[in-house]
């Protein structure tokens, strides 16, 4: 056994680097944060070979004096806090004083800086304590150069992925900082190209978001800005139609710091829950601002996680704020893709025209109503000029059905023009909302089956059915064991008369088995009802009579969230007469 001895500073820093500087992108993040903390208004980044060959960050911030340069790379040396009180109120991104020391310990490192009062800059190379500063040419501000990261820690070097992958992480670190600071100009150079050049735009923060995430995101996003007490949440949250297959467009900042936090993720997911397919991920750029004293950012060395003192209150606030923004988004339908394809200028031109179109007069409304509803009321053979109906109903929001396309889409006519409805999606949404309402007030009413349906079941399914009779009953099912290998269904929820009995029952048993009876009725409740609605809704391919179609439209109007099905797909589109006119080059 060896004797106990103190580790050298270099080794301590190398060990720490394993934690703080996990990969080149982590070093870049630290350097960018330092430049932001130094009050830079312009930051230039250069990345070579995914950052493992070179990371260089230059800023025009406050700089570091000659005397302080060696301290900057010393471990646990920082200018940002001095006491525990400071830590509780910390407003800077850094405060642990370990980034530069760690980076310097595992790379060929240099730091060059000049303050406004100095006539030239000073430069140090190598790790802490070793070198003296030497004069160097530099404008006001600081350059940190990190060459050959992990050259002396081969074990870590081996974990690096391809240059392209490492660059991808660097770019992500860059985007996070750039999104949070539209008041700073950024340039990112990758090898010999310049993929990002971002102008300052502090008065239009959404400009920066558009630069980085694209106009498509902006077009799909809802702005929100909610306050409650000292809490503020603002930013952009995309409507479900823009949802992603991964979490790559989720940017959440707490007091300007990018974080990835379970509590936040949960609140966001819940807000999107009813309108987003479980396998899709919402896209957002959101900024939470709150008193720094109520959030602990010193939970993790890279500060990516945070801890809130009032976790429940924060959760509630986030959920409510997002829910409100998304609900507002849902009550107005997404515009037809048709309109989106038009060049912006063309759209602008025709817009006033569309607005000038006078609302339908009473006579026109009567005609339209008769043309549409009259046909529903009596067979075409008996159609004859009829006296105007004494009561002239308003044309409903979604208008009246005029036919079906391929038995998938329902076409309707309203005051603005054509309405196209995805029948399955719309019906699913209606059934889902009805299920929710029904379960809120009482157990779902059961519809006994004229002929009970039996089906071969696994041992798990049989056991789940036998042990959970009460909850199944609550959901409107009567399921019993017929034999150890067969179940029989005697009743299903009355709201789902068209459902495939076996598929529906299996699905419900699977949910109960996977999550347990109590969770199925609480946090999993909406997911369960969504999948029940999906199995119990009109499938595309069924022909509806006009009366049925109109009934569907009327139900859609009364149901909350009718603009989207519960998997996040839109349920209907409006195509205006102006848009149709444009297609046919009328009035241009």
> Where along the sequence are the contacts to ligand ADP (CB under 6 A)?
30, 34-35, 38, 59, 61-64, 72, 78-80, 94-101, 142
Residue 177 DSSP symbol: H
Q: What are all long-range contacts of 150-156, with beta carbons under 8 Å and residues at least 24 apart?
A: 150/52, 150/106, 150/107, 151/106, 151/107, 151/108, 152/14, 152/106, 153/14, 153/17, 153/18, 153/106, 156/17, 156/18, 156/106
Nearest approach in angstroms of CB 36 to ligand ADP is 9
User: Token pair of 492, please?
Assistant: 């299903």
Q: Does an H or E element contain 446, and which?
A: strand 446-456
Of 50, 94, 333, 568, the residue at the interface with Mg ion (CB under 5 A) is 94
CB atoms within 10 A of CB 382: 7
Partner touching 410 among ligand ADP, Mg ion, none, CB below 5 to 8 Å by kind: none
Residue 185 in the binding site for Mg ion (CB under 5 A) = no
Partner touching 62 among ligand ADP, Mg ion, none, CB below 5 to 8 Å by kind: ligand ADP
Separation between Cα atoms, residue 290 and residue 310, nearest integer Å: 11
Are 464 and 513 a contacting pair, CB within 8 Å? yes
- Nearest 10 degrees: Cα torsion 34, 39, 40, 41: 150
Separation between Cα atoms, residue 14 and residue 152, nearest integer Å: 9
Residue 99 in the binding site for Mg ion (CB under 5 A) = yes
Partner touching 45 among ligand ADP, Mg ion, none, CB below 5 to 8 Å by kind: none
User: Contacts with Mg ion: how many residues (CB under 5 A)?
Assistant: 3
Segment near Mg ion (CB under 5 A); pick from 94-102, 110-118, 339-347, 417-425: 94-102
Are 259 and 252 a contacting pair, CB within 8 Å? yes
Residue 34 in the binding site for Mg ion (CB under 5 A) = yes
Nearest approach in angstroms of CB 330 to ligand ADP is 43
Separation between Cα atoms, residue 275 and residue 257, nearest integer Å: 28
Segment near Mg ion (CB under 5 A); pick from 33-41, 136-144, 502-510, 546-554: 33-41
Instruction: Report, in this order, helix, strand and coil percent for the chain, each rounded to 5.
Output: 40, 20, 35
Nearer to Mg ion among residue 99 and residue 512 (C-beta) = 99
Nearest approach in angstroms of CB 295 to ligand ADP is 18
421: phi then psi, degrees, rounded to nearest 5: -115, 135
Segment near Mg ion (CB under 5 A); pick from 96-104, 140-148, 275-283, 355-363: 96-104
Nearer to ligand ADP among residue 93 and residue 425 (C-beta) = 93
Nearest approach in angstroms of CB 352 to ligand ADP is 52
Nearer to ligand ADP among residue 73 and residue 339 (C-beta) = 73
Nearer to ligand ADP among residue 20 and residue 491 (C-beta) = 20
Going edge to edge, which strands form the sheet with 257-258? 221-228, 231-238, 284-289, 250-254, 257-258
**Is beta strand 417-422 parallel, antiparallel or unpaired with respect to 409-413?**
antiparallel
Segment near Mg ion (CB under 5 A); pick from 1-9, 30-38, 245-253, 557-565: 30-38
Are 425 and 569 a contacting pair, CB within 8 Å? yes
Nearer to ligand ADP among residue 40 and residue 236 (C-beta) = 40
Cβ-closest position to Mg ion = 94
Nearest approach in angstroms of CB 94 to ligand ADP is 2
Nearer to ligand ADP among residue 72 and residue 322 (C-beta) = 72
Nearer to ligand ADP among residue 104 and residue 575 (C-beta) = 104
Q: Please choose, from the candidates 25, 53, 268, the residue with its C-alpha nearest in 3D space to the C-alpha of residue 150.
A: 53
- Number of alpha helices (DSSP H) and beta strands (DSSP E) in the chain: 23, 22
Partner touching 556 among ligand ADP, Mg ion, none, CB below 5 to 8 Å by kind: none
Q: Please choose, from the candidates 287, 283, 208, the residue with its C-alpha nearest in 3D space to the C-alpha of residue 239.
A: 283
Segment near Mg ion (CB under 5 A); pick from 10-18, 26-34, 330-338, 482-490: 26-34
Nearest approach in angstroms of CB 297 to Mg ion is 13
Partner touching 275 among ligand ADP, Mg ion, none, CB below 5 to 8 Å by kind: none
Nearest approach in angstroms of CB 98 to ligand ADP is 6
Partner touching 240 among Mg ion, ligand ADP, none, CB below 5 to 8 Å by kind: none
Nearest approach in angstroms of CB 79 to Mg ion is 10
Separation between Cα atoms, residue 185 and residue 298, nearest integer Å: 28
Partner touching 72 among ligand ADP, Mg ion, none, CB below 5 to 8 Å by kind: ligand ADP
Are 113 and 69 a contacting pair, CB within 8 Å? yes
Taken as a whole, the chain contains a residue count of: 588
User: Token pair of 232, please?
Assistant: 């503020």
Helix residue ranges, H only, 357-419: 362-369, 375-377
Partner touching 425 among Mg ion, ligand ADP, none, CB below 5 to 8 Å by kind: none
Separation between Cα atoms, residue 452 and residue 468, nearest integer Å: 19
Partner touching 95 among ligand ADP, Mg ion, none, CB below 5 to 8 Å by kind: ligand ADP
Nearest approach in angstroms of CB 298 to Mg ion is 13
Nearer to ligand ADP among residue 50 and residue 121 (C-beta) = 121
Partner touching 52 among Mg ion, ligand ADP, none, CB below 5 to 8 Å by kind: none
Instruction: Return residues touching Mg ion (CB under 5 A).
Output: 34, 94, 99
């Amino acid at each position: 056994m060896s004797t106990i001895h103190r580790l050298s500073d270099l080794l301590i820093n190398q060990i720490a680097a394993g934690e703080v500087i996990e990969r080149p992108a982590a070093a870049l993040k630290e350097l960018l944060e330092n430049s932001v903390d130094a009050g830079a208004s312009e930051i230039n980044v250069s990345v070579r070979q995914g950052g493992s060959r070179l990371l260089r960050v230059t800023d025009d911030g406050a700089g570091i004096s000659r005397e302080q340069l060696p301290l900057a790379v010393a471990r646990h040396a920082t200018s940002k806090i001095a006491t525990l009180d400071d830590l509780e109120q910390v407003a800077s991104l850094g405060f642990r004083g370990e980034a530069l020391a760690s980076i310097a310990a595992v790379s060929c490192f240099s730091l060059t800086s000049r303050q406004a009062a100095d006539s030239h800059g000073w430069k140090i190379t190598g790790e802490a304590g070793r070198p003296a500063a030497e004069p160097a040419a530099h404008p006001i501000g600081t350059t940190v150069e990190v060459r050959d990261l992990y050259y002396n820690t081969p074990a870590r070097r081996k974990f690096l992925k391809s240059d392209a992958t490492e660059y991808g992480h660097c770019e992500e670190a860059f985007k996070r900082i750039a999104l949070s600071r539209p008041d700073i100009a950024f340039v990112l150079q990758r090898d010999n190209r310049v993929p990002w050049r971002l102008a300052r735009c502090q008065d239009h923060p959404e400009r920066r978001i558009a630069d980085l995430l694209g106009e498509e995101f902006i077009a799909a996003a809802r702005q929100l800005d909610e306050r409650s007490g000292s809490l503020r949440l603002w930013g952009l949250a995309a409507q479900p139609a823009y949802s992603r297959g991964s979490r790559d467009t989720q940017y959440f900042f707490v007091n300007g710091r990018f974080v990835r936090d379970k509590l936040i993720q949960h609140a966001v997911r819940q807000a999107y829950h009813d309108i987003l397919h479980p396998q899709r991920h919402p896209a957002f750029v959101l900024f939470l601002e709150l008193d720094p004293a109520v959030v602990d950012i010193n939970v993790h060395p890279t500060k990516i996680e945070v801890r809130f003192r009032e976790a429940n209150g924060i959760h509630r606030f986030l959920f409510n704020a997002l829910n409100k923004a998304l609900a507002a988004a849902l009550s107005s339908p997404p515009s037809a893709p048709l309109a989106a394809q038009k060049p912006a200028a063309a759209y602008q031109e025709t817009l006033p025209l569309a607005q000038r179109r006078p609302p339908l007069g009473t006579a026109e409304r009567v005609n339209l109503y008769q043309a549409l509803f009259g046909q529903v009321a009596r067979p075409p053979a008996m159609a004859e000029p009829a006296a105007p109906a004494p009561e002239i109903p308003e044309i409903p929001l979604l208008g009246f059905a005029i036919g079906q396309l391929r038995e998938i889409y329902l076409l309707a006519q309203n005051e603005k023009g054509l309405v196209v409805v995805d029948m399955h999606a719309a019906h699913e949404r209606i059934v889902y909302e009805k299920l929710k309402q029904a379960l809120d007030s009482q157990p779902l009413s059961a519809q006994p089956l004229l002929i009970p349906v039996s089906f071969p079941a696994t041992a798990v399914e049989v056991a789940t059915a036998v042990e959970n009779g009460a909850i199944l009953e609550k959901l409107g099912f009567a399921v019993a064991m017929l034999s150890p290998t067969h179940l029989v269904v005697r009743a299903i929820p009355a709201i789902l008369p068209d459902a495939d009995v076996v598929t529906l029952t299996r699905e419900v048993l699977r949910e109960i088995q996977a999550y347990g009876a109590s969770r199925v009725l609480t946090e999993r409740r909406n997911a369960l009802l969504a999948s029940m609605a999906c199995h119990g809704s009109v499938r595309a391919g069924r022909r509806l009579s006009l009366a049925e179609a109109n009934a569907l439209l009327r139900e859609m109007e009364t149901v909350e969230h009718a603009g989207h099905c519960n998997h996040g797909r839109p349920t209907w589109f409006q195509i205006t007469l102006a848009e149709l006119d444009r297609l046919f080059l009328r009035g241009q």
